[in-house]
Structure 1
Amino acid sequence: MKYQAENAVSSFFYYMWNAWSKEECKVVFGDMYRHFWDKWSVSADNAIFGAAERFFAGLSENYQKLLVERAVTLYDGRAFRKEPDDSDILVCKECGSRQLEIQVWINANTDERISYVYEDNDGHWCDGKWCEECVDQTFFCTKAEFTQKMQSWWESCGLESKEQITGLKVCDCPPAESPQTFVDAAGRWWNSRDYEYKREIYNKHTSNNE
């Protein structure tokens, strides 16, 4: 991402003050997050004021870049940026979680990422790809693809399943209009839910997410 130096500095500090957390550390540093979270904890334990500067100074240039890239992805100075498009976000193909890890080779002296442990295999196997929520190796897909998968599942659900999920009842609709009135109401209920809520319902009501 291209950005102006002054804006990047502002974005970085605003990010560290308002968004930095263990979860963000996972997003930025992947399977190395525990190492970097320990480094952050040491910086913050010394004194919270100046912790961001000390933490940044202790990173290699490559990891400094990763941290700044994340900051300017989320913030434009002191303002939130628009969320990345769902087609650019990777999730677990099985459960839809964004808590993903991938194995990489790291330079032991500089902490610089060199390459993935497993080269691209055209999606034939999932070695080196891990979902924290599934606690298993997995394939990745985009959030947009998983959202469509959940939508297709919802549309395939029968009336009884939709009654169970939504709490709405076909019998509550006018006899002359049901079940279409119920289907429309259930559809509005489903569409009003966010991604994480839909994902929870989907995973609860499907077997092996198929």
Structure 2
Amino acid sequence: MKYQAENAVSSFFYYMWNAWCEEECRTVFKEMHPHFWEKWSLMTDKGIFGAAERFYAELTDRYREKLVERAVSLYDGKARRKHPDDSEIKVCSDCGSTEIEIQAWVDVNTNEYHSDVDDDIWCSRCEDNVETYSKQSFLEKMQEWWKSNSTDNLEYLTGFKTSDFPSANSGQTFTEAADEWWNDKNYDEKRNIYLTNN
């Protein structure tokens, strides 16, 4: 298989972090997989960070090539990861933070994931157990709040004054300027404004 070295490196690490498991070991090393899975387990005893490098260093060139070819066949190092749609990203329903965690059961010997607890979600920002929204839903919630603000509140939030905008239909209105100001903000900026004023 033809591949460029720099792409192979990123493919290898992405593969080892995201896909490597006993089944993948069996796919790559066939009948020799018990030996290599044991070797991998020994590498993770020192900690998961650096285990891929240690494992790779222990392999002969022949087995390194097999492992890298498998990684490159599954992950193209040149490819850009598709960013998930806002409707797929989970955030804290109270503060909109993406810094949320879920309790998971992981085998301490193999670091293999077994299951998780859907109703035990922790928000690092709120320092509490929370429910989740999609990021899209939280954006809609903030947009509804923005639209519900009075003119006085919008003046306070934006720093604009209604008196600076002509009442005639020529030029930009105060509402248009305020909406443009809000729409120019990224998610975190909107979230900070929303949380500070609620």
Which interval holds the TM-score relative to the shorter structure? 0.5 to 0.7
The answer to whether 1:173 aligns with 2:165 is yes
Determine whether 1:94 maps to 2:86.
no
Deviation at 1:201, TM superposition (A): 0.5
How far 1:160 sits from its partner (Å)? 1.0
Whether 2:112 is the aligned partner of 1:112: answer yes
AA paired with 2:129?
Q
Matched residue type, 2:168: A
Residue 128, structure 1, aligned to residue 125, structure 2: no
- Residue 44 of structure 2 corresponds to none
C-alpha displacement of 1:52: 6.0
1:102 touches 1:130 (CA, 8 Å); kept in 2? yes
Determine helix, strand or coil for the equivalent of 2:167: coil
CA pair 166-12 structure 1, distance change in 2 beyond 3 A = farther
State the Cα deviation string for residues 149-206 of structure 1 (Å, max 9, x = none).
000000001111111111111010113359x810111001111111111011011111
8 Å CA contact 1:13–1:52 kept in 2: the answer is: no
Aligned residues: 151
- Inter-CA distance 149–168: structure 2 relative to 1 (3 Å threshold): same
Percent identity for Structure 1 against Structure 2: 44
Taking structure 2 as the reference length, the TM-score comes to: 0.63
User: What is the identity, as a one-letter code, of the residue corresponding to 1:199?
Assistant: R
Q: Which runs of 5+ in 1 are unaligned?
A: 1-5, 18-37, 44-50, 58-67, 121-126
Q: Please give the alpha-carbon distance, in whole angstroms, between the structure 1 residues aligned to 2:142 and 2:12.
A: 32
Contact 1:90–1:142 at 8 Å: present in 2 too?
yes
- Which stretch shows the higher mean deviation, 91-100 or 103-112? 103-112
Cα distance in 2 for partners of 1:112, 1:103 equals 14
Q: 1:160 to 1:109 in 2, by over 3 A?
A: same
- Residue type matched to 2:102 in 1? I
Q: Which amino acid aligns with 1:175?
A: S
RMSD of equivalent CA atoms: 3.7
Is 1:77 aligned with 2:66?
no
Runs of 5+ in structure 2 lacking a partner?
15-46, 58-70
C-alpha distance in 2 between matches for 1:87 and 1:204: 24
Alignment correspondent of 2:186: 194
Quote the offset at 1:55 in angstroms: 8.1
Secondary structure, aligned partner of 2:168:
coil
2:153 matches 1:153: no
Give me the whole-angstrom Cα distance separating, in 1, the residues matched to 2:189 and 2:148: 18
- Tell me whether 1:141 sits opposite 2:138 in the alignment: no
